[in-house]
Structure 1
Amino acid sequence: MKKKRLSLPHFILISMILGIIVGILMQKHADIANTYIKPFGTIFLNLIKMIVVPVVLSSIISGVISMQDIKKVGKAGVKTIVFFMATTVFAVTLGLIFANLLNVGSGYQLSGESLTYEAVEAPSMGETFMNVFPSNAFEPLASADMLQVIVIALFFGAGILMAGEKGKTFGDFVDSATEVCMKVMEVIIRLSPIGVFALLVPVIAENGPDVLLPLLRLILVCYFVYVLHMVLTYSTLTKFFAKIPILRFFKIAMPATVMAFSTSSSMGALPMALDCSEKMGSRRDISSFVIPLGTTINMDGTAIYQGVCAIFIAQIFGQDLNLAQQITVVATAVLSSIGTAGVPGSGMIMLSMVLQSVGLPLEGIALVAGIDRILDMGRTAVNTTGNMACAACISFMEDRKEGKLPPSSKQAAQ
């Protein structure tokens, strides 16, 4: 009988567990972890960053071409944005509810030391809207400004469709480029276990129990809501719209979710998320459009983080947020998820916007800044899982609309 080999997801999980164990053992030697182990993780991330822009550009153009109708692109875009906005509202509301119920900030007292945090000014909605449209077609590709890359891809995809027969040659080139990018991506993904291990070890080594224990309640509440939102929201939506069983969805999505958790980068997990979505049964033209868009505007995990941290900071400063203020937190979190898309350190910028909207001191951010990486790992995993859920739902909704699927999906029959 032939021995069954371990799959890539199993190797990734094993490397994650080993990374945590080694990180704990190296808590007194964090400098060694940073000097000799972290570089391998950095190399892996660099390879991911290298392929992300080509994958996004070629796959979105290819996805638009495969729809063969500009009207279909517009309809899929509207459904995607509605999905993301609705789940973000639910996510931040869930965060607020459990932060209040569990009194996330109770028992904490501020010391006499002054807490300082220099807030980074977030771009206005007007500036964000203008910055989405690039003045140079090559600069966004070099700087990896994903919103601008998406806009470039959408314009070129639409241009190929409008050019008709004359655009076919360019379209064939893009399809070929997409396949090449996917093959390069497969090679890089095979290095995931090494990358995950090398990235986790220094994080655990630097953030040992001494740092985590004082803020353990905040971490536990955030992660409780992260998991609850993924199980309650995404599995329900994929079960209802795409007829994908809950366990099947999470089993297929797990490699991308683990990758997002390990790297704290939705962009870094994007290639694997595309691969997982295809295995889930999502159409390539839909997932190639939805997932890259989701990496820039889908912020469910960040919204949960904002809601929990807002209550945490309010409670440790002895302030109570009334219902109107908490509704303001929801509205600000949803709007800022688009307003700060593509901005480095957007989680902190969004949190500062939320705190300002309800009159809470920005100094409170200094309390969570030290464990932000730990919280960021979880919220990035939520965001990436949400992208795959959206791709599955939109894909199957489009298939049913076009009469390509019976009332129950292929997955339900398996």
Structure 2
Amino acid sequence: MYALKPYRFPLILLASIFAGGAVGFFAGEKAEVLKPLGDIYLNLMFMVVVPLVFFSIAAAVSNTANMNRFGKIIGSMFGVFILTGIISSLLMLFAVKAFLSVDASPITIEKPDQVENINIADQFVQAFTTSDFVDLLSREHMLALIVFAVLLGLSATLIGEAGKPFVKVLQSGSQVFMKMVTLVMYVAPIGLFAYFASLVGVFGPDLLGTYAKAVAVYYPVALLYFFVGFTLYAFLAGGKEGIVRFWKNILTPAVTALGTGSSVASVPVNLEAAKQTGVPKDVRETVIPIGATVHMDGSCLAAILKISFAFTLFDMDFSGIDTFVKAVVVAILCGVVIAGLPSGGAVGEMLILTMFGLPIEALPVMAALGMIVDPPATMVNVTGDNVSSMLVSRIVEGKGWLKKQIDTKRIAS
């Protein structure tokens, strides 16, 4: 029983999700009556995540005396993000070529009444900046908030002695909001039960019907990447001890992501998990909040699936090195860059249409497919951020980083 103690809360969350799924399966659309309880939990998490991300990143940057180290963290982070995105894309590319077959036009396809033209340049401007300070106080502008927090932390550091009282405020704020997350998590089992009951009750027929073949490819591949891929990453980051500590702490954020379908809502518990694993404070408080916005291995998997599904559905030939390379590049853009833009999902789908010359009728098909694979995709996204923080720690601090963190924690206690 002692061995199961670290997993007690994740197991409770998993039991809540399965129980909610069972209720949704048998109750059908009637289960939607439970949705407000799930929304309350989600809203509580969204309520705390904006100030938490702000204080965490600003405190991490302001507490970094060595700017060369901070630059190394950022450079290593984006290198890891792109590399893991490529690996996940290639994995799904192999899977869809080996296992996915869709009958021509198995569903009723309707052309959207109106498709809004999306200007990528304008989207980037809106993603990284806002025209007013108050607009930063919204999860819809997380990248802009992160940019502001980084600039604020740098400013507090660069003014030297005069900035130290403000740095203490930032550090205190980070701790206060982490404690608030602990309080909110007490209602997580009820919230996840209600949310998943509603999700399965409403979308269950789609999972078993039209998109069954695509789901039958995505879910196993996502689970394979989750268990095998992330275990390998954890080993590369910290050896056998890295694997043990990773799996000891990752289940709570993974289950939270699976239940909520939100990378941003999972940031607080993911930060705590990385802390317990031993990831240095400045690394975890930089990599995980930024990763929740711009690093989506699960979305890379989904992008390849969407492309292949649409090609097959419209009886187009999805083959050839040029097509495969283009698919991987688009998947990386969707999972590492566009994911952080406002309406990132829609921008990604429009990019797929444009790059491959797909008919506009493919848009609602891809949107529906994205909605159906969203729970495991988000779980992979969030877990990928966590293990990426371990890989960045390995690059920044060297081979013995985990042992050093464990020894430091042992001495402090």
TM-score between the two structures when normalised by the length of structure 1: 0.89
Tell which deviates more after alignment, 206-215 or 281-290: 206-215
* 2:195 corresponding residue in structure 1: 199
Map 1:115-194; keep pairs closer than 5 Å: 115-116=111-112, 118-125=114-121, 127-129=123-125, 131-142=127-138, 144-194=140-190
Is residue 109 from structure 1 mapped to residue 105 from structure 2 by the alignment?
A: yes
Tell which deviates more after alignment, 158-167 or 237-246: 237-246
Alpha-carbon shift at residue 120 of structure 1 (Å): 4.6
| Structure 2 segments unaligned to the other structure (5+ residues) | 409-413
Equivalent position to 1:356, from 350, 354, 370: 354
Alpha-carbon shift at residue 117 of structure 1 (Å): 7.3
Alpha-carbon shift at residue 325 of structure 1 (Å): 1.6
- SS of 1:341 mapped into structure 2: helix
* 1:9 corresponding residue in structure 2: 10
Could you report, residue by residue, the CA deviation over 1:93-128 in whole angstroms, capped at 9, with x for unpaired residues? Answer: 2211110111x2333434675344754544424650
Quick one: which amino acid aligns to residue 18 of structure 2? I
Equivalent position to 2:59, from 37, 59, 62: 62
Tell which deviates more after alignment, 15-24 or 203-212: 203-212
Is residue 273 from structure 1 mapped to residue 270 from structure 2 by the alignment?
A: yes
Could you report, residue by residue, the CA deviation over 1:122-181 in whole angstroms, capped at 9, with x for unpaired residues? Answer: 442465057413343332114541101111110111111111111000011111111111
Verify the 8 A CA contact 2:64 2:70 in the aligned structure 1: yes
* 1:230 corresponding residue in structure 2: 226
Q: Distance in 1 between matches of 2:227 and 2:139?
A: 35
Verify the 8 A CA contact 1:105 1:313 in the aligned structure 2: no
* Change in CA separation of 1:54 and 1:197 when aligned onto 2, cut-off 3 Å: same
- SS of 2:339 mapped into structure 1: coil
Is residue 218 from structure 1 mapped to residue 214 from structure 2 by the alignment?
A: yes
Could you report, residue by residue, the CA deviation over 1:265-315 in whole angstroms, capped at 9, with x for unpaired residues? Answer: 001111111111111111122111100100111021111111012111111
Could you report, residue by residue, the CA deviation over 1:314-356 in whole angstroms, capped at 9, with x for unpaired residues? Answer: 1121111232122111112223445423345523431331232
Verify the 8 A CA contact 2:82 2:336 in the aligned structure 1: no
RMSD, aligned CA: 2.7
Is residue 291 from structure 1 mapped to residue 291 from structure 2 by the alignment?
A: no
Could you report, residue by residue, the CA deviation over 1:57-104 in whole angstroms, capped at 9, with x for unpaired residues? Answer: 1011111123222222111001001100111112122211110111x2
Alpha-carbon shift at residue 218 of structure 1 (Å): 0.2
Tell which deviates more after alignment, 366-375 or 248-257: 366-375
Could you report, residue by residue, the CA deviation over 1:5-61 in whole angstroms, capped at 9, with x for unpaired residues? Answer: 78221210110111011111211xx2x4223x1111111111111100111010111
Quick one: which amino acid aligns to residue 392 of structure 1? M
Q: Distance in 1 between matches of 2:181 and 2:171?
A: 15
Map 1:39-54; keep pairs closer than 5 Å: 39-54=36-51
Alpha-carbon shift at residue 234 of structure 1 (Å): 2.3
Tell which deviates more after alignment, 58-67 or 45-54: 58-67
| Structure 1 segments unaligned to the other structure (5+ residues) | none
Is residue 25 from structure 1 mapped to residue 21 from structure 2 by the alignment?
A: no
Quick one: which amino acid aligns to residue 332 of structure 2? V
Quick one: which amino acid aligns to residue 363 of structure 1? E
- SS of 1:250 mapped into structure 2: helix
Q: Distance in 1 between matches of 2:321 and 2:255?
A: 36
State percent identity of aligned pairs.
26
Q: Distance in 2 between matches of 1:399 and 1:112?
A: 54
Q: Distance in 2 between matches of 1:236 and 1:86?
A: 14
* 2:411 corresponding residue in structure 1: none
Verify the 8 A CA contact 2:301 2:331 in the aligned structure 1: no
Equivalent position to 1:312, from 290, 309, 317: 309
Equivalent position to 1:388, from 386, 389, 395: 386
Q: Distance in 1 between matches of 2:109 and 2:385?
A: 41
* Change in CA separation of 1:359 and 1:332 when aligned onto 2, cut-off 3 Å: same
TM-score between the two structures when normalised by the length of structure 2: 0.90
Map 1:93-104; keep pairs closer than 5 Å: 93-102=90-99, 104=100
Q: Distance in 2 between matches of 1:109 and 1:405?
A: 52
Is residue 91 from structure 1 mapped to residue 88 from structure 2 by the alignment?
A: yes
Q: Distance in 2 between matches of 1:398 and 1:11?
A: 36
Verify the 8 A CA contact 1:89 1:330 in the aligned structure 2: yes
